[in-house]
Structure 1
Amino acid sequence: MTLLVTGVRGRVGGAVLRRLRDGDVKARAASADPAAAGTVDGEPPVRLDLGDPEGFAPALDGIRKVFLYARPDTAERFAREAAAAGVEHVVLFSSLAIDEEGAEDGPVTRQHLGVEEALRASGLDWTFLRAGALASNALQWAAPIRAGRGVRVAYPETYSEPVHEEDVAEVAVRALLDDGLRGRVLRITGPESLSARRQAELIAAAAGVSVPVEGVDRAEHRAGLTAVLPGPVADFLLDYQRKRDGVPGTPLPDAARVLGRAPASFAEWAREHAAAFR
């Protein structure tokens, strides 16, 4: 049995591939830019651009299970091609934004929900990993922290439940290999609800550096986000942060249930990534 892992240049996709291969599971790496992805165990990834359906059939040939990133405009075509190729099960890297009240029309929700709906209608078995905020999102602060500018955000007291990307990957691997997780929606968060300020404090403690936190105008924060994200996505994220400003959330139990242990804390993640902030 061969598995296909899409998005191997991503933190989660790359970790899924590594874990499968470390477990001697036959896995095919796929990337929209194989040259940039480089070789994995001496083997270049196959080219699979989820925006280019012409590449679906070659990448899916001989595949029985898929770890999939969300691309809504081609999701129905991908599902058809996967079924035709004999794929049995797709584990989708989805988003917990789907569960947010009033977020039905948000760009992040639409992106992931569209793919979930296509897979539900396809006849394929599926598992949806609705992940919350990744701890690795804090790496966006690394360059300004190294430069001594600290963390400048519109909502320093906004809360999230950051989850280690390796825990998301481990849940994905369990879902790929455990048929008992087919047809499940797994809602994945870290073990604590933390403000942005508290995350900065934990980074400072782990890296041994000063990390001042400053509240800035929303327009300034948005300008930084739109340097790397589409405007509607930046607005969606800022609206969510405003909603969670001063409002702790409740960590969800699915990660611990699947892993058989507590997911890693943000403090653990910060210690592992301390060098990035020095």
Structure 2
Amino acid sequence: MTILVTGARGRVGAAVVRGLLAQGEKVRAASTDPDSLTALPDEVERTRLDLASPQNLREVLHGIQKIFLYAQPAGAARLTEAAAAAGAGHIVLLSSLAIDTDGAGTSPIAQQHLLVEDVLRASGLGWTFVRPGGFATNALQWAPDVRAGRPLRLAYPETYSEPVHESDVADVAVRALLDEAHRGATLRVTGPQSLPARRQAELVAAAAGREVLVRLISPQEYREQLTAFLPAPLADTLLDYQAARDGRPQKTSDDVQAVLGRPALSFARWAKDNADAFR
């Protein structure tokens, strides 16, 4: 069986590739820039993906039985039509737990992923939706300040999240691709604990052996900080999300345990795995 993996430059996509190879599967990694996939193992087939080109889609999907898909609303319908024509029977979508939140109707993150979910539901293909919550890798935005000894400037240091280790997302996706029991399922992936941002900073400090201080700033100051690298609508969504969870622990999902037969990896484990980024 040959499985197509899109988004293979990302942490999750690359981990999905490695997980499939470990299970003895053949992998074709697709990217708009296949020359950038240098970190993947040599046995991975690399190919260029152009969602706007029917001819390219036919070539990319030739001989493919299953697909791991990143959510790109533009071109999603063309890809699913081409996948059906090529005989691919199952798509595992990297979606988002933002769909399950109260503000999903106005969240650009939720809407982007929901649009692709709707396309897959209507496609006639088999599907599985993997909906992770906030990634633990979001803490990497703190790395420059931690390395420089600067305090973290946060508007809501007591806002709670359930940070997800990217390895859990990839492992769940691999099982969904290989195990027919998950066809038609929506798998919600969270970390094992709901933790405030301040506690996450403490765990980063412990793992990296560095002092990490937190400085409280206003929401407006934090918005200005975010819009330096995020579009304003996404910055506003993030601010609303943090305000709604300020001082409010959230429930976690048991789907990682159910799918993998082991507990989800903790944020402390993620911090140890990525400690060098903060040193």
- TM bracket, shorter-chain basis: over 0.9
SS at match of 1:45: strand
Question: Aligned letter for 1:26?
Answer: K
Give the match for residue 14 of structure 1.
14
The structural deviation recorded for 1:67 is: 0.4
Give the match for residue 186 of structure 2.
185
SS at match of 2:67: strand
Contact kept? 1:34, 1:44, Cα under 8 Å: no
The structural deviation recorded for 1:92 is: 0.3
Measure the CA separation in 1 of the matches of 2:135 and 2:56. 29
Contact kept? 1:150, 1:210, Cα under 8 Å: no
Once the two structures are superposed, what CA deviation does each residue of 1:137-166 show, in whole Å capped at 9, x if it has no partner? 111111111011132122111100011000
Q: Which moved more, 1:222-231 or 1:173-182?
A: 222-231
Measure the CA separation in 2 of the matches of 1:113 and 1:253. 22
Give the percent of matched residue pairs that are identical in Structure 1 and Structure 2.
58
Q: Which moved more, 1:222-231 or 1:20-29?
A: 222-231
SS at match of 1:223: helix
Contact kept? 1:161, 1:191, Cα under 8 Å: yes
Q: Which moved more, 1:66-75 or 1:188-197?
A: 66-75
Aligned ranges 1:136-155 → 2 under 5 Å: 136-155=137-156
Once the two structures are superposed, what CA deviation does each residue of 1:1-20 show, in whole Å capped at 9, x if it has no partner? 10000001111001000111
SS at match of 2:65: strand
Contact kept? 1:60, 1:82, Cα under 8 Å: yes
Aligned ranges 1:212-251 → 2 under 5 Å: 212-251=213-252
Contact kept? 2:52, 2:75, Cα under 8 Å: yes
How much is the aligned-residue C-alpha RMSD, in angstroms? Answer: 1.5
The structural deviation recorded for 1:54 is: 5.5
Question: Aligned letter for 1:200?
Answer: A
Once the two structures are superposed, what CA deviation does each residue of 1:79-121 show, in whole Å capped at 9, x if it has no partner? 1111111110000000000011132121011100000000000
Query: Gaps spanning 5+ residues in structure 2: where?
Result: none
Measure the CA separation in 2 of the matches of 1:209 and 1:270. 12
Give the match for residue 266 of structure 1.
267
Give the match for residue 74 of structure 2.
73
1:99 is aligned to 2:100:
yes
The structural deviation recorded for 1:39 is: 5.6
Measure the CA separation in 2 of the matches of 1:215 and 1:96. 28
Give the match for residue 29 of structure 2.
29
Contact kept? 2:161, 2:249, Cα under 8 Å: yes
Measure the CA separation in 2 of the matches of 1:157 and 1:51. 44
The structural deviation recorded for 1:53 is: 5.8
The size of the alignment, in residue pairs, is 278
Contact kept? 1:7, 1:32, Cα under 8 Å: no
The structural deviation recorded for 1:44 is: 6.0
